[in-house]
A = this chain, B = another copy of it.
Amino acid sequence: MDYLLFFAELVGTVAFAVSGATLAVQKRLDLFGIVFFGVVAALGGGTMRDLLLGHTPPRMFYNYEYVLLAVATALMVFVAAKHETILHIFNKADSFLFNLSDAVGLGIFAVTGTQTGILAGHEKNAFFCIFLGMTTAVGGGILRDMLCGDIPMVLRKHIYAVAAIAGSSIFYVLDLLGFDSGLSSVTAMAVTILMRLLARHYRWNLPRVDETVRKNNPGGL
B217 to A156, Cβ gap below 8 A?
A: no
Q: Given A67-B127, A152-B147, are A215 and B32 neighbors across the interface (CB < 8 Å)? A: no
**Stretch among A173-181, A185-193, A206-214 lining the B interface:** A206-214
From B78, B95, B221, A19 is in contact (CB under 8 Å) with B221
Interface size on A, residues (CB 8 A): 76
A162 — nearest CB in chain B belongs to which residue? B32
A82 CB to nearest chain B CB (Å)? 6
Q: Given A22-B219, A152-B147, A218-B94, are A161 and B61 neighbors across the interface (CB < 8 Å)? A: no
B57 to A128, Cβ gap below 8 A?
A: yes
**Stretch among A1-9, A48-56, A107-115 lining the B interface:** A48-56
A64 to B127, Cβ gap below 8 A?
A: yes
**A85 to B145, alpha carbons, bound, how many Å?**
35
B36 to A161, Cβ gap below 8 A?
A: yes
Q: Is chain A's interface secondary structure helix, strand, loop, or mixed overall? A: helix
Residues of B within 8 A of A78 (CB): 207, 209
**A88 to B217, alpha carbons, bound, how many Å?**
10
A67 CB to nearest chain B CB (Å)? 7
B208 to A29, Cβ gap below 8 A?
A: yes
A22 to B91, Cβ gap below 8 A?
A: no
Top 8 nearest A-B pairs by Cβ distance? Answer: A54-B56, A149-B149, A30-B206, A33-B155, A98-B219, A61-B128, A31-B206, A81-B209
Name A's B-contacting residues (CB within 8 A). 15, 18-19, 22-23, 25-33, 36, 51-54, 56-58, 61-62, 64, 67, 77-78, 80-82, 84, 87-88, 90-91, 94-95, 98-99, 102, 122, 125, 127-128, 131, 142, 146-153, 155-156, 161-162, 205-221
Instruction: Give me 5 other A-B pairs in contact (C-beta within 8 A), A52-B58, A102-B221, A146-B149 excluded.
Output: A25-B214, A29-B151, A30-B155, A80-B218, A84-B213
